[in-house]
Structure 1
Amino acid sequence: MQGFVFSDPLALAAACLAVVLVGLSKGGLGGAMALLGVPVMALTIPPVQAAGILLPILIVMDWVSLWSWRGTFDRRVLKMMLPAAMVGIAVGWATAAWTSDAMVRLIVGVIALVFVARWAQGAIKARRSPATPRPHNAAAAGVWGSLAGYTSFVAHAGGPPYQVYTLPLRQDPRLYTGTSVVFFAVVNMVKLIPYAALGQLDVANLTASAMLMPLAALATLAGAALVRRMRPEVFYPLMYTMVTLVGCKLTWDGLQAL
């Protein structure tokens, strides 16, 4: 694909918003905003192209996060989930030719809505009774790790499947964050190979990535600063509302186009 990707002002605005949301998330404001990256950009350009533009930006953010959380990770989680994630990436690569833009929009929309539903369910359970840590389960880690790899490949939306397995472990927040940083840094680096093979790292997309990179860096720094100031009880309901609206929009668009 040649030419300027964001010749439409609306597409440029959506891309900037998507990068800011992902950057704030990488800075520490949580996975809900990261989930909005591809869906928001996909409102104006094909979702596969949106994912291709965001991948180099995500990798640069990963490097910053790896340095920030160096030495803090759960080896057992990574040993069980990363090999499965590689399988999920391979499945996504193998089926890319048969996955239409409409199907990707539908997948991303459903992922967003399931993510919100699980968050709501967890909030209700937390009010009823305190959660107890769940022990490791290799089979469950394999299933959710592979789904995380697949959804990460399709739309950089591997967070929800990853969280389905890891959140019930009730890890220390620092250990949870550091482990997720390593997991997705490895996943994103591996995704460079299939994305390049599929032509999503062409000159036009890489130029768009480079153009958005300074904004991504500023957003990441802003996220790290805001996380020390913003009240979670205000922020998270707002973000999950946004995820719900975008998820409904993309699910509807995907169903209409199928």
Structure 2
Amino acid sequence: MLELSWAFFAIAGPAAIFAGISKGGFGSGAAFAAASILALVVEPGLALGVMLPLLMLVDAATLRPYWGKWHWPTARLMILGGLPGVALGAALYARSDPDVLRVLIGAISIGFVLWQVGRGRGWIRIAAAALPRWAGAVAGCVAGFTSFVSHAGGPPAAVYLLSLKTTKTEYQANTVLIFFAINIFKFVPYAFLGMFTAQTGMANLVLAPFALLGAWIGVKMHFMVPERAFFALTYVLLMATGTKLIWDGLT
């Protein structure tokens, strides 16, 4: 049961802004931090259900600034690859209890930080040459799965997209379009699995302006602010929330 209290909105409002900034300006990679944060205070399924309509709203709001700047063959490949990944995520969710999801979301949160730090330190290297097209389909499938269970499709998508050595704006445009489509795919199974309730709908109405504000800030920041400062804050949030979720799930 989702209780729409002042305490909930004190956490959910900043989380929605943060998700909007990430999706609007920084490749969607850290947007799932909002769901990780919400999962600390509500059941993980409800946290995911609250965030999906907000992420879809941000997707729609950020399509226009990046319209036509994506590489359609690449985006199409990863969108089609995302379909079986979404189906796998739905199958897992239907057979899991909330503690399993807490551990999974927490592990993905910490894994994201380790992957990003490893890239920054040179411990993990993106392929020097563009990965083959089949790798794009696989990356799309993994992105669909992780997006379904934690809204964390950004890292697997980035592995393929970064190998293509695209411009910063083309990369951002690709992620906007890819996750716009994958989030639409997720909506129907989320509804059938009971992840949307009257309370999550009311929360969405209140939080929509926060998400749109974040998206607007993110688009502006994309052209003005380096990623380093933004992701430094993200890493701290994700390590803290990921550790807490794993602890809660196991204990």
Taking structure 2 as the reference length, the TM-score comes to 0.90
User: Which residue number corresponds to residue 169 of structure 1?
Assistant: 164
Q: Secondary structure at the match of 1:95?
A: helix
Partner of residue 55, structure 2: 58
Greater Cα offset, 11-20 or 23-32: 23-32
Segments of structure 2 that go 5 or more residues without pairing to the other structure are: none
Matches within 5 A, 1:145-164: 145-164=140-159
Answer yes or no: is the 8 Å Cα contact 1:5–1:205 preserved in 2: no
Question: Are residue 138 (structure 1) and residue 133 (structure 2) matched?
Answer: yes
- Give yes or no for contact 2:85–2:142 (8 Å, CA) kept in 1: yes
Deviates further, 247-256 or 176-185: 247-256
Paired positions, count = 251
Q: Please list the CA deviations of residues 15-35 of structure 1 after superposition, one character each: whole Å capped at 9, or x if unmatched.
A: 112111101212314545413
CA shift in 2, pair 1:132/1:50, >3 Å: closer
Q: 1:186 aligns with which of 181, 186, 192?
A: 181
Which residue identity lines up with residue 130 of structure 2 in the other structure? P
Tell which deviates more after alignment, 11-20 or 182-191: 11-20
Name 2:201's counterpart in structure 1.
206
What's the TM-score, normalizing by structure 1? 0.88
User: Which residue of 2 is the match for residue 69 of structure 1?
Assistant: 66
Q: Report what 2:218 is aligned to.
A: 223
Please say if residues 106 and 254 of structure 1, whose CA atoms lie closer than 8 Å, have aligned partners that are also in contact. Answer: yes
Q: Which amino acid aligns with 2:213?
A: L
The counterpart of 1:41, out of the listed 23, 38, 50, is: 38
**Equivalence map 1:68-87=2 (5 Å):** 68-87=65-84
Match of 2:246 among 229, 243, 251: 251
The answer to whether the 8 A contact 1:105-1:253 is kept is yes
Q: Which amino acid counterpart does residue 35 of structure 1 have in structure 2?
A: F
* Matched letter for residue 4 of structure 2: F
Instruction: String of CA shifts for 1:23-69, please: whole Å, max 9, x gaps.
Output: 12123145454131100011100111111111111111111111111
Larger Rg: 1
Residue 97 of structure 1: CA displacement?
Answer: 2.0
Task: State the Cα distance separating 1:239 from its structure 2 match.
Answer: 2.2
TM-superposed CA distance for 1:155, in Å, is 1.6
- Work out the percentage of aligned pairs sharing the same amino acid: 31
Cα separation, 2, equivalents of 1:202 and 1:186: 23
Counterparts of 1:40 and 1:216 in 2: how far apart (Å)? 15
Q: Measure, in 2, the Cα distance between the counterparts of 1:239 and 1:232.
A: 10
Q: Alignment RMSD, CA only?
A: 2.3
Secondary structure of the 2:99 match is helix
Partners of 2:12 and 2:34 lie apart in 1 by 8
Deviation at 1:143, TM superposition (A): 2.4
Once the two structures are TM-superposed, the CA of residue 150 in structure 1 deviates from its matched residue by 0.9
